[in-house]
Structure 1
Amino acid sequence: MAFGRQRRAPEPPVEPMPWEGIEKFVVSDVEQPATFRRKAVTGPRAIRVRSVGGPVRCFAPAVFVVQPDPEIKAYEFYAARDSRQPICALAPVTGGKGGEQYRVADGAGQEIGAAHRTAAAKRTIQHTWWLRQPGHPDVVARYHWAKGSAKEVAARGKAAVARQAGSLAESVVDSLIFGGDDSGGQSSNHIRKPVTWRAGEDEVALTSDHTDRGVRTYMPKAGWLDLRLVFALAVLREG
């Protein structure tokens, strides 16, 4: 008869999943969240998909995210089922005006589109991050007061900022309006709100919300929207 606490058998490895056709994902290094009985199991930073059907809640990698230089916002993306296969890369574009711009290219170096960071002056009108894919309308999350004439938009934007932030600094205003620090930081005091990106006025192209553990999830909606652009936006947004 064996006495004492029995050693728990190790969990089986989380099998990678294909990235094509992903409907919902997170950017994380967590493979299995912590529970009352065990610590979190982590792995490489990746685009991860909730695995269903198994006995343990887990997030399977679909795309590994590599940042060669931690001081530069440039990333390489590799298919988790074949880590030798690059699916895309993003790098900052220098010399641009009105915010930051990041070029997204496929594994062969051909440009897919771009991810943009909105200039500070426009963040009371539209969300910090947005996408541009050639041949399609820009994918932008604008706020409800950003409709009508320029004068009406300006008036509603100023009123919204005044109501929510008073004379607070711009960084705090961003936190209140955008539901958190979109540079990637998190705070328990932030009001976490879902975000909807649209192509044109009406077509929903992408949404983002939070899980019960505070992790942001991303849900591509438009069939034409290149998933690699969505991955780029999510990684930049998460920091």
Structure 2
Amino acid sequence: MAGWEDVRDFTLGNVSRRATRIEFGPNAIRAVQGSNDDRVLEPYAYVGANRSLYLDAELTQLLCRVVPTGDHTWSVQDADTTEIGTITRLPSHRRYLRPNWQITQPGHPEILGRTEWLTGSPARLAAKAGSRLIVSVLDGLTGIGDEGGDQPTKSRTLEWRTPSELVMISSTTITITADWLDRRLPFAYTLLAK
């Protein structure tokens, strides 16, 4: 098993296996491994008290902790209380929009997490709208999601970008695309966003 520094796809939870049989374990940051038919969620960092993460299930080896520093800002610190970076919740100025998020990591540009509908070029947004329209029409024709509402709702997707790069995508799982991102920052974000 590779170390937490190399995790690319992960989620926060206590489910360790999803497909054919559901298995549970301790609440942890879990890397997504395997195929859709036999997906395993391997624990990499275990959730402790007060928004802390540990490398072991016994909660003796601290990986990082999240410490509030303001109304909407948190410092992510390592075991020696050295700051790894900060996470800020940016309240929306519009009544019905959810907040955006910002991550700072020393030595790198700020990372802004915004809903996928607020990022990208006009052509890209038009392509997204077109594909969503096609899916909704097909759903209507096939009856998927008709009365009874047994279809799961789609979680909010955020695209995390610097001015020049897509760094990660978050929805039910987080996918990291930038090698330079300290994994403890998105791990900490999951503790705040849950």
| Residue number in structure 2 paired with 1:21 | 6
| Residue number in structure 2 paired with 1:136 | 108
Greater Cα radius of gyration, structure 1 or 2: 1
Structure 1's consecutive aligned runs of 4 or more residues displaced over 6 angstroms after TM superposition are 122-126
Structure 2 CA distance for partners of 1:134 and 1:126, relative to 1, 3 Å: farther
- Taking the aligned partners of 1:75 and 1:51, their CA distance within structure 2 comes to 25
1:106-145 aligned at under 5 Å gives the runs: 106-121=78-93, 128-142=100-114
Identity value in percent: 29
Structure 2 CA distance for partners of 1:223 and 1:77, relative to 1, 3 Å: same
Shift of the alpha carbon at 1:64?
0.4
- Taking the aligned partners of 2:95 and 2:103, their CA distance within structure 1 comes to 15
- Taking the aligned partners of 1:124 and 1:220, their CA distance within structure 2 comes to 28
1:198 correspondence with 2:161 = yes
Q: TM-score, normalised by structure 2?
A: 0.70
1:231 correspondence with 2:187 = yes
- Taking the aligned partners of 2:76 and 2:45, their CA distance within structure 1 comes to 15
Please list every run of 5 or more consecutive structure 1 residues that lacks an aligned counterpart in the other structure. Answer: 1-15, 69-73, 148-187, 210-215
Number of aligned residues? 164
1:92 correspondence with 2:59 = no
- Taking the aligned partners of 2:119 and 2:38, their CA distance within structure 1 comes to 44
Per-residue CA distance 1:107-133 (angstroms, 9 max, x = gap): 111011111111232687885322111
Structure 2 CA distance for partners of 1:192 and 1:77, relative to 1, 3 Å: closer
- Taking the aligned partners of 2:161 and 2:65, their CA distance within structure 1 comes to 24
Tell me which protein shows more strand as a share of its residues.
2
Please list every run of 5 or more consecutive structure 2 residues that lacks an aligned counterpart in the other structure. Answer: 121-150
The amino acid that maps onto 1:22 is V
Per-residue CA distance 1:138-178 (angstroms, 9 max, x = gap): 1103456579xxxxxxxxxxxxxxxxxxxxxxxxxxxxxxx
Question: Larger relative contact order (C-alpha < 8 A, sep ≥ 6)?
Answer: 2
- Taking the aligned partners of 2:58 and 2:119, their CA distance within structure 1 comes to 43
